[in-house]
Amino acid sequence: MGYPDKVLAGDEQVVLHRHPHWKRLFWPVTVLILGSAAASFGCAVVGNATWDPTAKRVVFWVIGAIWLVLIGWLTLWPFLNWLTTHFVITDRRVMFRHGVLSRSGIDIPLARINSVEFRHRLIDRILRTGTLIVESASQDPLEFYDIPRVEQVHALLYHEVFDTLGSEESPS
């Protein structure tokens, strides 16, 4: 049983589960490609040099170490952050979890949500992403960035909130 199923109540159902938009991975992938190309070029230059074999080996190790640090820090870490960030809407609450080594998150019961809005710039509209803003009864508005298909998520969340409020307000 994977996330988010393992944190749900017995009869709670997931309505939507999303990671942030892939645009968060654009620069890490660019760094991966350019860093690998630069390391390959550096290794090719060193391989064709007329240096002592021990000096070549040391330079290869230095290039490899720099490449590993650069890729780990600027590519692997953002990917892991993206992978471990979850935006989930269930039939009872909105959940947001993020973090690789230390995790944090927030749960907002649907019955406590006062308003839901979205915002996206031109590039966000082109990429079909944006910021979802949820205002609950007890806190300042929470902004969730880079939500894929933010307009659909906004409509879905609004309908879930309306259905929750409607079922609580209607006489049984």
Ranges of each domain in the chain: 26-81, 91-167
Residue 167: predicted pLDDT: 56
Q: At what angle do helices 53-71 and 26-48 cross, to 10 degrees?
A: 180
**Full DSSP string of 82-135:** HHT-EEEEESSEEEEEE-SSS-EEEEEEGGGEEEEEEE--HHHHHHTEEEEEEE
Report the DSSP pairing between strands 104-109 and 14-18.
Answer: unpaired
Residue 2: predicted pLDDT: 63
Closest to 70 in 3D by CA, of 98, 96, 38, 102:
38
What tens digit of pLDDT does each residue of 114-126 get?
889 999 999 999 9
Domain 91-167, classified CATH 3.60.40, yes or no: no
Low-confidence ranges of the chain (pLDDT < 70): 1-2, 165-172
For residues 86 and 97, give the distance between their C-alpha atoms in angstroms, rounded to a whole number: 5
Q: How large is the greatest C-alpha to C-alpha distance in the chain, in angstroms?
A: 87
For residues 80 and 70, give the distance between their C-alpha atoms in angstroms, rounded to a whole number: 15
Question: What is the pTM assigned to this prediction?
Answer: 0.83
CB 24 within 8 A of CB 127: no
What tens digit of pLDDT does each residue of 21-48 get?
999 999 999 999 999 999 999 999 999 9
Helix (H) or strand (E) holding 167: helix 150-169
